[in-house]
Amino acid sequence: MQTRIVKINDPSAQREEIEKAGELIRRGELVAFPTETVYGLGANGFDATACAKIYAAKGRPSDNPLILHVADRAMIDLVAAEVNDTAEKLLTAFCPGALTLILPKSGRVPPKVTGNLSTVGVRWPDNAVARALIAAAGVPIAAPSANISGRPSPTTADMTAADMAGKIPLILDGGNTRVGVESTIVDCSARVATILRPGGITREMLAEILGEVRLDPGLERADAAPKAPGMKYRHYAPKAPLTVFCGKSERMEDFFLGQAQKLQNAGKRAGILASREVADAVRRILPSERVFAYGTQGNLTEIARNLYAGLCYFDNCAVDLILAEGVTETNLGLAIMNRLQKASGGRVIEIGEFKNDSISQTL
Ligand code: TXA
Ligand code: MG
């Protein structure tokens, strides 16, 4: 199948392209589109046959439910059976925005779309192209991130095309996404609202509105099953093995420089995914193309925005292993560390506890 990529600079000035895309969705085809978090792979959320194409294009396990994207508040009532007080408060405070609410599902949503769960994830994105597309389609759009299952989520149309070209008729190109990590998923049915996946709306922001918020135990402990089915899979993984190092930022430059030198001496081609400060230091001894700077130390907004491009970068670069610099788990740092944790298969190491001699065994 030929995949068209159409640049959308201003959806209101490009009505014809948006209408055509909405028509494709209504006809049961797939359209990839930008949101403020990551690119989504969309289908008519009321059409189980169309949604089956999403699972096929991504290679996604069929028990992993899709979230439904709406264009306005009224559409939420088509997909959710009930919107409780907690959900209303969050809608008022953060929507449209980088949030997905888990609500009881309405009878109109086919069971296959929600993996037979009685709940549905509802997301009202604030990206202008996404909202124009959903409005033009006139139906809620089911959309997971537009990557092949297990791969990093795309934050540009090019990254989307790398996974989806040849499989879908259309990609709407809205440029780089603003947030860079996926939406925060909040289960509103629990007595205390619970974060199932940390994302663009932070735990601190939610707590300010609700008072109390919990983290799903599955996010904190390896032995607890996560409540969002998709969180149990290895995810966001680059092809080369990745290890994450955490610790005081002022110690990072020396640490990475030391490890890079050791690996270089041992004939290993290391890739470094780190802050600009660390990247500048290791470029003194490593070829520049093996170093990806994800942003300035402590600038979590910038780091979140560049994270997935960084994870994908090393797939086109001959490296044996990747060393990544971790961040503190406050604000957006919780979402960033959750993704790095998954990308590394849990190999997150405190530099204070790291034994230098064991590097080749550990890495
Ligand atoms: O930012 C985002 O949320 C992006 C953009 C495209 O909107 N979408 C996205 O979708 O990340 P996806 O499918 O890649 O991740 C959705 C997650 C999965 O882990 C899935 O298991 C979980 O949401 N989920 C969906 N419906 C659920 C439900 N009813 N209960 C619990 N978890 C659910
Ligand atoms: Mg995903």
> Domain containing 328 — which CATH number?
3.40.50.11030
Q: Which residues pair with 288 in a beta bridge?
A: none
Say yes or no: 224 and 246 in one domain: no
Ligand at shortest distance from the CA of 39? 1
pTM score, whole prediction: 0.96
Say yes or no: 67 and 204 in one domain: yes
| 15-74 pLDDT, tens digit each | 999 999 999 999 999 999 999 999 999 999 999 999 999 999 999 999 899 999 999 999
Using the mean position of ligand 1's atoms as its centre, give its distance from the Cα of residue 68 in Å.
9
80 lines ligand 1 (CB under 6 A): no
84 located within any domain: yes
Separation CA 139–CA 96 (nearest Å) = 17
CA angle 37–290–240, rounded 5-degree value: 70
pLDDT at residue 359 in the model = 52
107 located within any domain: yes
Say yes or no: 147 and 127 in one domain: yes
Domain limits at 135?
4-232
Ligand at shortest distance from the CA of 232? 1
Say yes or no: 257 and 292 in one domain: yes
Say yes or no: 250 and 220 in one domain: no
Separation CA 53–CA 65 (nearest Å) = 14
Helix or strand run (H / E) with residue 55: helix 48-58
Retrieve residue 290's tokens: 């093996």
Say yes or no: 294 and 351 in one domain: yes
194 lines ligand 1 (CB under 6 A): no
Using the mean position of ligand 1's atoms as its centre, give its distance from the Cα of residue 123 in Å.
9
Say yes or no: 63 and 91 in one domain: yes
Separation CA 27–CA 136 (nearest Å) = 13
Question: For 80, what's the count of Cα atoms within 13 Å in the CB-facing half-sphere?
Answer: 26
Identify the residue whose C-alpha is closest to ligand 1 atom 31. Answer: 228
Identify the residue whose C-alpha is closest to ligand 1 atom 21. Answer: 230
Say yes or no: 103 and 247 in one domain: no
Q: Is the peptide bond before 229 cis (omega within 30 degrees of 0)?
A: no
Ligand at shortest distance from the CA of 113? 1
Say yes or no: 36 and 122 in one domain: yes
| 220-238 pLDDT, tens digit each | 877 778 888 888 776 788 8
237 located within any domain: no
Which of 39, 67, 305 to mutate for ligand 1's pocket (most ligand atoms within 8 Å of CB)?
Answer: 67
Mean pLDDT of 331-345: 96
Using the mean position of ligand 2's atoms as its centre, give its distance from the Cα of residue 188 in Å.
21
Complete edge-to-edge strand list for the sheet that includes strand 67-69:
4-7, 170-173, 31-33, 40-44, 141-142, 67-69, 119-123, 99-104, 184-187, 194-197, 214-215
Say yes or no: 156 and 17 in one domain: yes
Say yes or no: 10 and 126 in one domain: yes
Number of domains in the chain: 2
Mark which of 232, 259, 287 sits at the end of a domain.
Answer: 232
